[in-house]
Structure 1
Amino acid sequence: MAAHTGDVRALAISPNGRLAVSGSHDHTVRVWDLSTGKCMRVLLGHTDVVWAVAISPDGRMALSASPSVCGRLARD
């Protein structure tokens, strides 16, 4: 999670265990490949700390929330 420039506040692991989604004080959501440890994608749009993330049961969507945005949905 070193790619974040702020503390990580939220983390979710995909049902198949291949991906993780993290939310941070740096206002970003990042998608990680757990087999390589590399950040695959940076999701922007929050203007405040991302304090919650979730991944759908099929692993195709991620939801994030911050005090300034009640929810942002990302699809693969």
Structure 2
Amino acid sequence: QKPIATLTGHSDSVWSVAFSPDGLTLASASSDNTIKLWHLQSQKPIATLTGHSNSVLSVAFSPDGLTLASASSDNTIKLWHLQSQKPIATLTG
């Protein structure tokens, strides 16, 4: 089988992807220290979330689709408000 799409835009390795609960958005975590949000129907990037100081290793959507959690090699977890595309909390420890 052939892939139905190839999404490009990160400048380094992609470690994790997650589908939003509504199936309309994909989040990708990369060694370029960013998270990209992708509109699946158009296969275009919606936003690039920045704030981690090292590779982003994992992403996960909240069940209601309003918040994204990202885990990084900078020893933090960030929670992102997806509507504003801003971080709302940084968890350390």
Q: Number of paired residues?
A: 76
The aligned runs of 1:1-76 (5 Å cut-off) are 1-75=7-81, 76=83
Contact 1:27 1:47 in 2 (8 A): yes
Bigger Cα Rg: 2
Gaps of 5+ in 2: 1-6, 84-93
Counterpart code for 2:79: L
TM-score (structure 2 length as normaliser): 0.77
Structure having greater relative contact order (Cα 8 Å, sep ≥ 6): 1
Counterpart code for 1:31: L
Contact 1:46 1:69 in 2 (8 A): no
Report the aligned-residue RMSD: 0.9
Q: Secondary structure at the match of 1:51?
A: strand
Gaps of 5+ in 1: none
Percent same amino acid at aligned positions? Answer: 36
TM-score (structure 1 length as normaliser): 0.93
Deviates more, 1:46-55 or 1:63-72: 63-72
